[in-house]
Amino acid sequence: MKFNVEINWETIVTIIIALISGMWALWERKNRRKAELQLRDTVRRGEAPFLVVSDKAFNGLYVAAEKGQGQFWPPGDKTLLCWMRDEVDRKTGEGETVILVVENLGKAARRVSIKLDGKTISLDKEMEMEGANDLPFFRYAYSPVLHGKEQKLTIEFETSAGIQDKHIYLTKHGCRILKRIDPA
């Protein structure tokens, strides 16, 4: 038994071209989507604050205390994490205030909310007075059992353009470390 099969090469070539074109379109779409996400993240980072630990040398930090009074913290203070100290003194007691001096290398933000492992902490600025350096800093309560352990610092903010966003940083409790991880 012999089969007489006629091959329609024109149809086969058309199908192959259609398959290649479809795969090419899917590949292009995937790459376009990836580029759009990268651009969105670039814009997201560009319009946001970018906090890093400060290396600025200073003679003291003027911190607002109760009733509008200022409190002077020398750079060698056992709980002032700055250019002079990378780690809180291990003899620091539970609940004592730790200050981590930072710099914003990005844009200013409004309506900022900051949490350290889900607990609200403050981002303050040095008091306006003679001798002050206008330095921003985080202020949180120290816990000896957490010393050196990684913590997640979440900053929710609104940009000057009105975009609401959230960035996540890693730090170590009682240590002068701060690294933004989202967006990377």
Of the ranges 36-40, 95-99, 127-131, which is most confident? 95-99
**Domain of residue 16, residue span:** 1-46
Render pLDDT for 58-114 as a digit per residue (tens, 0 to 9).
999 999 887 777 889 999 999 999 999 999 999 999 999 999 999 999 999 988 999
Percentage of the chain beyond pLDDT 90 is 57
Cβ contacts of 110 within 8 Å, gap of 6 or more: 157, 158, 159, 160
| One domain for residues 13 and 61 | no
Reported pTM:
0.77
| One domain for residues 57 and 114 | yes
Q: Can you tell me the distance from the alpha carbon of 124 to that of 133, in angstroms, rounded to the nearest whole number?
A: 13
| One domain for residues 81 and 42 | no
| One domain for residues 122 and 64 | yes
The pLDDT assigned to 76 comes to: 92
| One domain for residues 2 and 67 | no
Render pLDDT for 136-167 as a digit per residue (tens, 0 to 9).
999 999 999 999 999 999 999 998 888 889 99
Q: Which of 39, 42, 43, 75 is nearest to 59 (CA)?
A: 75
Residue 10 confidence (pLDDT) above 70:
yes
| One domain for residues 13 and 94 | no
The whole-number average pLDDT for the span 169-176 is 98
The pLDDT assigned to 44 comes to: 67
pLDDT confidence tier of residue 128, bands split at 50, 70 and 90: confident
Cβ contacts of 138 within 8 Å, gap of 6 or more: 99, 100, 102, 114, 116, 121, 122, 123, 124, 153
Q: 94 in helix, strand or coil?
A: coil
